[in-house]
Amino acid sequence: MTLTTPPVAKKVPHVETHHGIEIADDYAWLRDPGYPEVKDAEVLAHLQAENAWFEARMAPQQGLIDTLFKEMRARIKEADKSVPQKDGDYLYWIEFEEGAEYKKWWRRPVAGGPDQLILDEVALADGHEYFRLGALSVSQDGTMLAWSVDDNGSERFTVRIKNLVTGEVLPDEIPGTLSGLVWVAGDKGLVYSLANEQWRTDNARLHWLGQPLASDVELYHEDDDGFRVGASLSANEEWLIIGTSDHETSEVRLVPAKAPLSPPLLVKPRQAGVEYDVDLRGDTLFIHTNDAHENFRLATAPLSTPGEWTTLIEGSDAFYLTGFELFRDFYVIEGRRAGLDQIEVRYYDDPARAEPIVFPEASYTAGLGDNPEWAVSTLRLSYESMVSPASVMDYDVAARTLTTLKVQEIPSGYDAALYATERLEITARDGTKVPVSVVYRRDRTGAGPLYLYGYGAYGIAIEPGFSTTRLSLLDRGFAYAIAHIRGGDDLGRAWYKAGKLERRTNTFTDFVDVAHGLIARGLTEAGRIAIAGGSAGGELMGAVINSDPQLWGAVAAHVPFVDVLATMLDPSLPLTPGEWPEWGNPIEDKAAFELIHSYSPYDQVRAQAYPPLLVTAGLNDPRVTYWEPAKWVAKLRELKTDQNELLLKTNMGAGHGGKSGRFESLRETAEEFAFILWQLGVAG
């Protein structure tokens, strides 16, 4: 049977009152009352009807989807392996076999000997619609492996442990984790965090190998619902570091790794708005903190008085200090200057000596790679740009030289000389200059189609990196632009703060103003711009189609956070209490309530023409619950005045990240690009 009309969700009157203001929500019924289990027959039937409509409308584009998918897959080296990295007595690497969706983890002795398969994701994923490896950790003596797996997208992982000498998988099993895995107590214990009923990690726990879970010890419990707990080892592996934080405040405790039941040492009590993280070298703490400057400073303190901090590197308006890593003979700081990644080697015995690592291009993204050992003379780095495929490099610290070990191979061919990239500055309506990274083919002429990507939240910078899938658009005449809008920390912490809480709408207006600026520069035209964003970037999509629908020719909103007000009003949801520092607390603060209501995409849907829209969701998504996009699409169907496409695809066996597997995820990108090409009338 051919479907001719989209599904129409029923309306069930539902009104809530907050601060004396009534909010109507006729589609609230789409939230299954049994969530996180979704078994309501009517809810499932509606989602399946939307999926059927998606399939029906995209069916004529299946040939184009297949073409795009084949292009994208042909750019991936199917049989591929990472550059081996030494950790202790072994070299470790990962491999993909021809046609495999998932990878295998290997090692071999540095002194010589056979390769050893330590974890086979292909075998673990067999029979599962969804598979995601969470944490993976080899014990310090190299004899044990702990790993965790999520096989439904719910972000609740089950931990297993394997003896790498005998190959035996131990009976120990820890379900419901959401954390890293840290070996302690001479590799007899494993530290992890459980996700509670609201997917919050409010604990750090110790599991003794071979002992029942009932005997596990809670090392730390966090009572603030907005904070999350995590654990790691210091760089010298002598200390267990237990941290707890929300989006703007943190607190750290230290425990001897050999004696994890020792009383924890509090570095410094939490102070609202102060973030810090620590590492140790000998009896000296190194502290990365924003207590004196919003772009962070690096301080030191004696282990005996960990709260007495002395500045080592001052905070700076010009340099945003994003992190540091300690090694035996030197340390490394990372940051951004004018939005561009910087890596510097520093020395313990000469604080004034700073050696920046120089990279060959004017615009790029670079960072420290995997450097697991304490005593090293070379650093493993990653590097790429919008025209340069990802590279793995080693940096010789003494010689100050870079050696390229591997460049991402594109089997179907790639000629960087065909493409150009530039970094523009576009002036927003309040006079702020917003950076924009753009890439296009050099033979592109005129105001053609353009794909504009944005995120703008949580202080997450969108790096100007390389993408093989993007080539399918560039080779069809598109320019591709990343709007580095406020709300990310692309230009430092002030850039982030200028797009959160009471200044949240700067994120949306920046994105719209970037689009106008790209039009003014002759790169595109109104109605020929495809836009895309996911999660908080999906919120961005919802806001800008409400405010400026005429600009966009096609919109892809992936797992979009669009029901912002209702979610922030519900502290029972997984992330809500921890999100209040980002968005505001509309339960307690009427001004926050009114502001969020004024831009919340779902609440601001109105009777007007909307651009063509592709929306995705994950039934098991604990971050943006499936009903947010489902409600949004239902309300758009009710109120929009146009006949443009509106499609909702819900992954019924996946979560926030969509399909797992390197090729299955490519097919979803092919669907998005096919939708965009179809709606913009660009030949496939």
For 9, the 3-state DSSP assignment is coil
Respond yes or no on whether the N-terminal peptide bond of residue 36 is cis (omega within 30° of 0).
Answer: yes
- Residue 407 tokens, joined: 């460049």
- Residue 373 tokens, joined: 């050992």
- Residue 529 tokens, joined: 């711009």
Are the beta carbons of 69 and 667 closer than 8 angstroms? yes
CA-to-CA distance for 78 and 81, rounded, in angstroms? 9
* Maximum Cα interatomic distance, the chain, rounded to a whole number of Å: 76
**For this structure, is 656 an active site residue?**
yes
Are the beta carbons of 79 and 97 closer than 8 angstroms? yes
Beta strands in 428-473 (DSSP E): 433-441, 450-453
CA atoms 659, 682, 479, 475: torsion sign: positive
Strand partners, 162: 145, 169
Catalytic-labelled residue, pool 247, 288, 484, 656:
656
Q: How far, in Å, are 94, 95, 598 from residue 79 at the CA level?
A: 11, 7, 50
| Phi-psi label, residue 296: left if phi above 0, alpha if psi -120 to 50, beta otherwise | left
Write out 475-533 in H/E/C secondary structure.
Answer: CCCCEEEEECCECECCCCHHHHHCCCHHHCHHHHHHHHHHHHHHHHCCCCCCCCEEEEE
**For this structure, is 535 an active site residue?**
yes
Are the beta carbons of 522 and 505 closer than 8 angstroms? no
For 540, the 3-state DSSP assignment is helix
Catalytic-labelled residue, pool 193, 535, 600, 660:
535
**For this structure, is 202 an active site residue?**
no
Quick one: which of 463, 458, 516, 521 has its CA closest to 486?
A: 458
Eight-class DSSP state of 681: T
Quick one: which of 547, 528, 539 has its CA closest to 628?
A: 539
Catalytic-labelled residue, pool 207, 247, 621, 660:
621
Q: Annotated catalytic sites, by residue? A: 535, 621, 656
